[in-house]
Chain A
Amino acid sequence: MPHQTEDIEIGLLLEALYQRYHYDFRHYARASIKRRLLQARSHFNMPSLTALQERVLHDPEMLPRLLGFLTVQVSEMFRDPSYFRALREQVLPHLRTYPSLKVWIAGCSTGEELYSMAILFREEGLFDRTLFYATDINPEALRAAEAGIYPLDRIRKFTENHQKSGGRSSLSDYYTADYGRAVFDKSLRANVVFSDHSLVTDAVFAEMQLISCRNVMIYFDRGLQDRAVGLFRESLARHGFLGVGSKESLRFSQHAAAFSEFVLEEKIYRKREA
């Protein structure tokens, strides 16, 4: 059957990416990765995934282009406004008691969530004492995150979300409009470290009070999800907070017992006593 051949090709292509470039998608949920690879195949006009594999193995310039298909998530600022409202009203009051804070946006993609978090922390008066880590495996996405420029036609939705999240200021205070683009204020990234980091292959790098990792682990298989949650568990300070996507859950994780449900409906967890 042709689709069995395709499944073999997918396994080989992912193995090739790993061996050649150390990008490890081998344990990503297969149905989504297959869809993305087939999109890439047709975008690059390749007769087969084997042909795509040959091209990316021999032409390193293909790698970033393929990564664009395999990783980039288009998100929104303040996506799921009720999540940010819960952070504002229930999590930040706890964080306020710390003299300094570290916050990790894991899988920050093109930065929408990072800027949302930075604006939230500024509105709540915690920005100056916070160091943000924004990490992703895709260097182009990280560059876009660092630039903080979004098409103006997305701003209306961002603004609506920000208001629903309980925003105390106007989103327009944080960007300037320029030729159809919204350029976010560089002071928002004054305390941000942008870094290439993989939840699949890399280790703990700092002790965090808050980690937000939404709609990233949804693409992992169960084993990989366990690895990522284990990494968050080790990274979090005692009583630190972890927010995951609205359709993600720690319920089935081998680390579930290490966390309590802090705001269950918003998927915000808190690390228990060690």
Chain B
Amino acid sequence: MSSAPHRAVVIGASAGGVQALLALLPALPADFPWPIFIVLHVPADRSNVLASLFEAQCGLEVKEAEDKETARPGVVYFAPSDYHLLVEENGDLALSSDEAINYSRPSIDVLFESAADAYGEGLIGVILTGANNDGAAGLKAVHAAGGVALVQDPAAAYARTMPQAARQACNAALVLPLDRIADYLKGLERE
């Protein structure tokens, strides 16, 4: 019934997130088989450089998510600044300018919760460094829908509040150091 690909990765990060993603994304192979959706909190006027910044460092195609586009495997989609990014049941992307959630737009929770609906047990949710609580409810939703929940080890994170909050909200989450997360994702791919 659904044309959605069966797996996807969602990543949420805030303070320290650019550096963390620069460690994580380039470690993924160019033929990574699933779409990757990312909410990274950055000042509004800097977000439109994200895609080009990461594209230069990655084997993967990186772009800013557009409303109603169909997610493709092996493509990294960043939520645009000042818009929420959601995933529809059929795998199409959707943007919204609904109010900020936990002072955040884009909100990690909004992305994770909608993706959990769309992908269910096929979803892998990853919470990285950050200094607020966004993403905690979202990661819980990913796990509740049967997906895989990963959290960067707060002790080694640039800012520990966000991974800590996510781990508290979702105690089944697997806690990994940053440099093991890419390997873990590649391992899932081989399953």
Inter-chain contact B89/A74, CB cutoff 8 Å: no
Cβ of B83 < 8 Å from any Cβ of A?
A: yes
Inter-chain contact B94/A29, CB cutoff 8 Å: yes
Question: Would A247 and B66 be within 8 Å (CB), given that A31-B94, A35-B113, A35-B114 are in contact?
Answer: yes
Inter-chain contact A30/B96, CB cutoff 8 Å: no
Cβ of A197 < 8 Å from any Cβ of B?
A: no
Inter-chain contact A247/B86, CB cutoff 8 Å: no
Cβ of A249 < 8 Å from any Cβ of B?
A: yes
Interface size class of B (residues with CB under 8 A): 20 to 34
In the complex, what residues of A have CB within 8 A of residue B83's CB? Answer: 247
In the complex, what residues of B have CB within 8 A of residue A34's CB? Answer: 114, 117
Inter-chain contact B96/A219, CB cutoff 8 Å: yes
Cβ of A88 < 8 Å from any Cβ of B?
A: no
Inter-chain contact A247/B95, CB cutoff 8 Å: yes
In the complex, what residues of B have CB within 8 A of residue A179's CB? Answer: none
Inter-chain contact B117/A222, CB cutoff 8 Å: no
Interface residues in B89-105 by Cβ distance below 8 A to A read 89, 94-99
In the complex, what residues of A have CB within 8 A of residue B61's CB? Answer: none
In the complex, what residues of B have CB within 8 A of residue A247's CB? Answer: 66-67, 80, 83, 95
Question: Would A29 and B88 be within 8 Å (CB), given that A34-B117, A218-B67 are in contact?
Answer: yes
CB nearest to B97 among chain A residues: A215
Interface residues in B50-87 by Cβ distance below 8 A to A read 66-68, 80, 83-84, 86-87
Q: Which of B68, B98, B99 contacts A252 (CB 8 A)?
A: B68
Cβ of A230 < 8 Å from any Cβ of B?
A: no
In the complex, what residues of A have CB within 8 A of residue B117's CB? Answer: 3, 31, 34
Type the 1/0 row for A1-42, where 1 means its CB is closer than 8 Å to any CB of B: 101000100000000000000000000011110111000000
Q: Give the Cβ gap from A108 to chain B, nearest Cβ, in Å.
A: 14
Cβ of A248 < 8 Å from any Cβ of B?
A: yes
Cβ of A139 < 8 Å from any Cβ of B?
A: no
Cβ of A73 < 8 Å from any Cβ of B?
A: yes
Interface residues in A224-274 by Cβ distance below 8 A to B read 225, 245, 247-249, 252
Q: Give the Cβ gap from A81 to chain B, nearest Cβ, in Å.
A: 11
Inter-chain contact A31/B114, CB cutoff 8 Å: yes
The interface of chain B, by Cβ under 8 A from chain A, is: 66-68, 80, 83-84, 86-89, 94-99, 110, 113-114, 117-118, 120, 145
The interface of chain A, by Cβ under 8 A from chain B, is: 1, 3, 7, 29-32, 34-36, 73-75, 215, 218-219, 222, 225, 245, 247-249, 252
Q: Please name 19 pairs of A and B residues whose Cβ atoms are closer than 8 Å in the assembled complex, sorted by A.
A: A1-B120, A3-B117, A29-B88, A31-B88, A31-B94, A31-B114, A32-B84, A32-B86, A32-B94, A32-B98, A34-B114, A215-B97, A218-B67, A218-B96, A225-B68, A247-B66, A247-B67, A249-B67, A252-B68
Q: 10 closest A-B pairs (Cβ-Cβ)? A: A31-B86, A215-B97, A31-B114, A32-B96, A29-B94, A31-B88, A247-B95, A31-B94, A74-B99, A218-B67
